[in-house]
Amino acid sequence: MAHKKSYAGEDRTMRNAAQTLLANIRFASVDDPIKTVVITSSVPNEGKTTVSVELARAMARGGRTVLLVECDMRRRSLAATLGRHPETGLYSVLSGATDYGQSSVAVEENLWFLDVEPHIPNPPEIIASKRFRRFVAEVRQRFDFVVFDTPPLAAFVDAAVLSSIVDGTVMVVRESFVKRTELVDAYAQLQNAGANVVGVCMNYCHEERSEYYYAYYDRQGRRVRTSDADLDDDETQLPPLAPSGSSHLLASTDASMPVNRTRPSARRVVESDSDAF
C-alpha cells in the first residue's frame, strides 16, 4: 500500500491499494475462495492493523458482510483505530458468556468488529483450542469474509498458530524497514505451521514516478503486470514467497528474498486439541 503526505491523497491511494489487495486475495484461489484471512507482519510497526482495517472496509464497500477480529491479545489497537469500544469481546464468546452477535459492534455498513478483552492469559493456547476452531468455522459460515489482525511473527507465535486454521495469510512488509533475515524467518515460521501464505502486501511505499505503483509476480518470480508505472529492465525480480497452490504475490519489492526454514516451528502449539483455556 502506498503512503501519501496529503490526507485526501492518502485516503484515495489507500482505498485503491485496498481494492487491489482484495482482488488479488480473491484471485489467489478461485475454486476454493478465501473467506478467512490472517493479516500479520514480521516485526511491529509495519502497518498490519491499518492494512487489516482498510482491507475489511474494501470488502464491506463491495457489499460483502465482514467481521474484523482483534487477535493481538497483548497489544490491542483495532478499537482505538475504529473508535469502537465494545463491553465484551472474543474471550467472552469463546467462554460461552456471550455469542459473537452480542459482542461484535457495527463499524459501518456490512462491517462488524469483534474486540478482545485485555489481559488474556496464554493466547497461543486459546487460539489452538477446539473452541477457537469452532468459532472460526461458525463465523466463516455467517460472514462473507473474516479478517484477523494478529501480532508480529518475530514477537509471538499467535499468527502462525492461527494461520493453520484460516484459509489464507497475508504478510505486511514495510518498505525499507524490516530486515531481510527477519522477513525470511517470519515466512519460514508460517510455512512450518502449514500456513497458506497467499502473498505479501508492501506498505509505506515511496512513490517516485506515479500516483500508484504496484508490481506483480508469478510463482516463477516473473513480473506479470504493473500498474501506472513500469519497472526498470535492470531491476531484480523477487523469487516467489507463496507456497505451491497460491497464485502470486500481492505486491512486492525488487529485493531478492531466498527462503530457508531455520526458524523453530509452531506446530507443537498448532496441534493442540485442548478445549480448555
The pLDDT, as a whole number, for residue 89 is: 94
Query: Residue 155 — very low, low, confident or very high, per pLDDT cuts 50/70/90?
Result: confident
pLDDT at 233 over 50: no
Cβ neighbors of 215 (< 8 A, separation 6 or more) are: 223, 226, 231, 251, 252, 253, 254
Sign of CA dihedral 40, 43, 48, 49: positive
Residue 82 contacts by C-beta under 8 Å, 6 or more apart in sequence?
A: 53, 68, 107, 113
pLDDT in tens, 19-76: 989 998 988 877 788 999 999 999 988 889 999 999 999 999 999 999 999 999 998 9
The domain made up of 34-270 is a member of CATH 3.90.650.10:
no
Give φ, ψ of 41 to 5 degrees: -150, 170
**pLDDT by residue (tens digit) across 87-133?**
899 999 999 999 999 999 999 999 999 999 998 889 999 999 999 99
- Measured CA to CA, the distance from residue 150 to residue 73 in angstroms comes to 8
pLDDT beyond 70 at 18: yes
CB 250 within 8 A of CB 19: no
Domain boundaries, the chain: 34-270
pLDDT the model gives residue 191: 93
Q: What is the mean pLDDT of the chain?
A: 78
Predicted local confidence at residue 41, as pLDDT? 94
> Residues 248, 177: contact at Cβ < 8 Å?
no
How confident is the model over 190-220, as pLDDT tens digits?
A: 999 999 999 888 888 765 443 333 444 455 5
Burial of residue 101 (CB within 10 Å: 0-12, 13-18, 19+) is: exposed
State the DSSP code for 176: T
Rg (CA), the chain: 18
Phi and psi torsions of 2, nearest 5° = -90, 155
- Model pTM score: 0.75
> Of 267, 107, 260, 247, nearest to 184 (Cα)?
260
CB atoms within 10 A of CB 38: 32
Separation of alpha carbons 36 and 208, rounded Å: 34
For residue 234, what pLDDT band results from cuts at 50, 70 and 90?
Answer: very low
pLDDT number for residue 223: 52
CA distance 122 to 199: 28
For position 112, what pLDDT does the model report? 97
pLDDT at 157: 94
Cell reading at 167: 484459509
pLDDT value of residue 26: 87
